[in-house]
Structure 1
Amino acid sequence: MSKFKIIPVRSSGEIKQFVDLPWTIYKDSPNWVPPIKKNVMQLLTPGKHPFWEFANRELFLLKQGRKVIGRIAAIVDDNYNKYHHEKAGGWGFFECIDDQEAANMLFDAAEVWLREAGMEYMHGPFNPSTNYEVAMLIKGGQVPPVLMMTYNPDYYPALVEASGQTKEKDLFAFKFNRGHQLPEWVTKIANRLVDKGEVTIRHLDMKKLNEEVVLMNTLYRAAWADNWAFVPATDAEIAIQAHELKDIIEPRLAFFLYHGDEPIGVGVILPDANPLLKEFNGKLGVTALYKLLRHKSKIIGTRCIIFGVKPKYHQTGVPLVALDYIMKMSEEFPQYKHIEMSWTLEDNAGINDLLEDFGGDLYKKYRIYRKDF
């Protein structure tokens, strides 16, 4: 008889335990960054977050006696399955003590639920889709994560693999330090295209944020449409993410590329607010403003979270214009010491070769696992 017991989340107290568990798992981890509990609760709650307008989920807790020692979400994303013509189930929000039996019980519970929902395989982690935090860290755990990138204990990959799951896809994160110089030929091509007016660049207009967000989403869809595991985010999803991030957006670090009057590309670089989130420790209470002012100087990095150009412009030098612009803008903000470009697919040779050839440091890797039923 197992010393563990698994239960589906039903009560408000149980969902609170689900949200609170990481504070136990990571209590001795100096690199873990606590999420804002209110945001996690909203993201997990049907009726409060637009993701669940087209998706279903079951949350599970694993207990040893009265103590919660594991959690997992089983997810069916109808938009993903319609887009890819598949019957894929996802798992995410996984946390667990270092115990194989415990991990197996969590994955088994997710598998049973997904099988009963008619799915043909499961993969993850997705928290809850590729438009949010995704994948398991397998390299680079000695460095804290940047904004909206995952972090996990070193023992997690072994737990997943021993449960019968195998690699489906790896994701890469590249780092460029401040002062990094692109090859001269890149700058020449970029400058020529801009000087001739073949490509123009404009910053984000915060006064028209809602319209700008819709345009970002349109360009993101066009640029990523054929990518593995891509699923178009709805305007409602994008709107709620923009609301959560609007206070840290720097308009000059979010930009659009145009060919004539046609928008053809988009880039969004966000200050890495994770050092602040660490100080907030999951809460945005009355002391949040004080902590913001006191610890703002700890924000010394950025993350390029969106980088996309319409496919028909991939071979025209437009991606070089965007990359050159990103590096130039980084120099205008002396408080930022580095930028992470993340994430990219392991088999996206075009962008990966570009970033590596230009001196990017492939310093982190993440993995999506899969199990066919």
Structure 2
Amino acid sequence: MVSTEGDSTLAIEPVEGKKGRARFVDLGRTFAARVENSVPQLRSEQLELLNPDKNPFFGHAHAQLFIAMRDGRPVGRISAHIDELALEMSAEQGFGPGTGLFGYFDAEDKDVARLLLETAQDWLRSQGMTRSVGPISMSVWEEPGLLVKGQDHAPVIMMGHHPAHYAGWIENAGYIRAKTLYTYDLDISKEFPPLVQRIVKSGERNKRITVRPVRKKDWDAEVAKILGILNDAWSDNWGFVPLTPEEVAYTGIKLKPVIHQELNMIAEVEGKPVAFMLTFPDVNYALAKSGGKLFPTGWWHLLKWARNPQNCDMRVPLMGVLKEYQSSRLASQLAFMMISYIRRNASAKFQSKRAEIGWILDDNQGMVAIADAIDSSINREYAIYAKPLD
């Protein structure tokens, strides 16, 4: 697609091959560096996420990447992609038949943004799609949504960070907000309110309940338990797409370096795993020092940090309770027990003072109630947009 602007020419080029993906990633890193409080991510990890030979997401998805060029200079990028598993979900859950996705959206100005979005929409139409949803980069389990509030502080691990004006450009292209995702800021240097403490003590008296740290020596088996609970617990949520066995194994490998047993819990009822909560030290603290590169000295910063991440923020990215327990009082009790133990350990062992919980769907009443009960407050807001493709 080509657009003429006076004496200037704006063209969209499809990205192909390893070199093309590297250009796409490096362009995104250039845009990210311009956003206040952004943190450079590991380039090698960003490349791997886009590599069909390495990321198992592409076992059920295909994508086309695009770069916008103005007079030979790169000025924007976007992905258009289709997740076959998302197509199988019900439309009421956000995706469903005919729903294509866009992501990795960056643009120098509104004209570039318009042409990029039109290009992604045309590609999705050519694949038989009737609706476009995004930004989702690339899977809903990776970086869903556009940051619309919260640019005034640095992002934590695995959270996107975008300039506020992108929202207007997407909305001007005819997109309507389909869902809002929140993250919550929590002071973990102090005890939880008395009501929460009473709920925790009540659970500790229940001999049916065991809340234990994950066993890193049995990590593969523990990952299978955790993600099995996740696929069940989240199956009715907006935007849910099940993780495949290949993605479960891949996720386990990726998460292991940031796993500290004291910060990750599995809850059992009569010996059966029924709930989990994962907490990661914020690797962005170390990435800020390494500049997002492993060499020449980035690896040293990351290794030193990973072994003993002192005084850093924490993120709770995932928790879940099996559906059969979700309507019972036990569900919130297990959640409060896990988060209380993790708060205590993060404060005592790692001297952490702050945690971020999320993302949480705006209509997830159970999780919103838990976030409110522990005196956390919304600190970031992400928007996911949708548009019919006429």
TM-score of the aligned structures, taking structure 1 as reference length: 0.94
Among candidates 301, 312, 317, match of residue 313 of structure 2: 301
Pairs within 5 Å for 1:143-162: 143-162=153-172
CA shift, 1:247, in A, is 1.7
* Displacement over 4 Å in runs of 4+: 293-299
8 Å Cα contact 2:42/2:294 also seen in 1: yes
Larger deviation, residues 321-330 vs 50-59: 321-330
Match of 1:92 in 2: 103
- Partners of 1:72 and 1:362 in 2: CA distance: 29
Per-residue CA deviations over 1:179-212 (Å, capped at 9, x if unaligned) read 2332222222222222221210111111111111
Question: Please, which of 360, 372, 382 is the counterpart of residue 344 of structure 1?
Answer: 360
Deviation at 1:112, TM superposition (A): 0.6
Give the secondary structure class of the aligned counterpart of 2:89.
helix
Change (3 A) 1:357 1:208: closer
Percent of counterpart pairs with the same letter? 28
Q: Say whether the 8 Å CA contact 2:310–2:351 is kept in structure 1.
A: no
Worse-matched range after superposition: 305-314 or 130-139: 305-314
Give the Å deviation of 1:30: 4.3
Q: Which has the larger displacement, 57-66 or 278-287?
A: 278-287
Distance 2:199 2:188 in 1: 22
Residues 1-373 of structure 1: matches in 2 within 5 Å? 1-2=4-5, 3-84=9-90, 85-97=96-108, 99-292=109-302, 300-314=312-326, 315-316=328-329, 317-373=333-389
Deviation at 1:324, TM superposition (A): 2.7
Separation (CA, whole Å) in 1 of partners of 2:215 and 2:48? 28
- Residues of 2 paired with 1:210 and 1:334: CA distance? 25
1:187/1:298 Cα in 2 relative to 1: closer, same or farther (>3 Å)?
A: closer
Deviation at 1:255, TM superposition (A): 1.1
Q: Distance in 1 between matches of 2:262 and 2:350?
A: 14
Which 5+ residue runs of structure 2 have no aligned equivalent? 91-95
The whole-number CA distance in structure 2 between the counterparts of 1:311 and 1:253 is 24
- Which 5+ residue runs of structure 1 have no aligned equivalent? none
- Whole-angstrom distance in 2 between the partners of 1:341 and 1:232: 22
TM-score for the superposition, normalised by structure 2: 0.90
Counterpart CA distance in 2 for 1:298 and 1:109 is: 46
- Superposed CA RMSD: 1.8
Q: How many residues align?
A: 372
2:257 aligned counterpart, secondary structure: coil
Q: Distance in 1 between matches of 2:255 and 2:40?
A: 16
Q: Distance in 2 between matches of 1:152 and 1:26?
A: 7
| Cα displacement string for residues 304-350 of structure 1 (whole angstroms, at most 9, x for unaligned residues) | 01111112323223333233333333332342110110110001122
Distance 2:64 2:303 in 1: 39
Is 1:272–1:299's contact at 8 Å kept on the other side of the alignment?
no
Task: Sort the Cα spacing of 1:90 and 1:198 in 2 relative to 1 into closer, same or farther, 3 A.
Answer: same
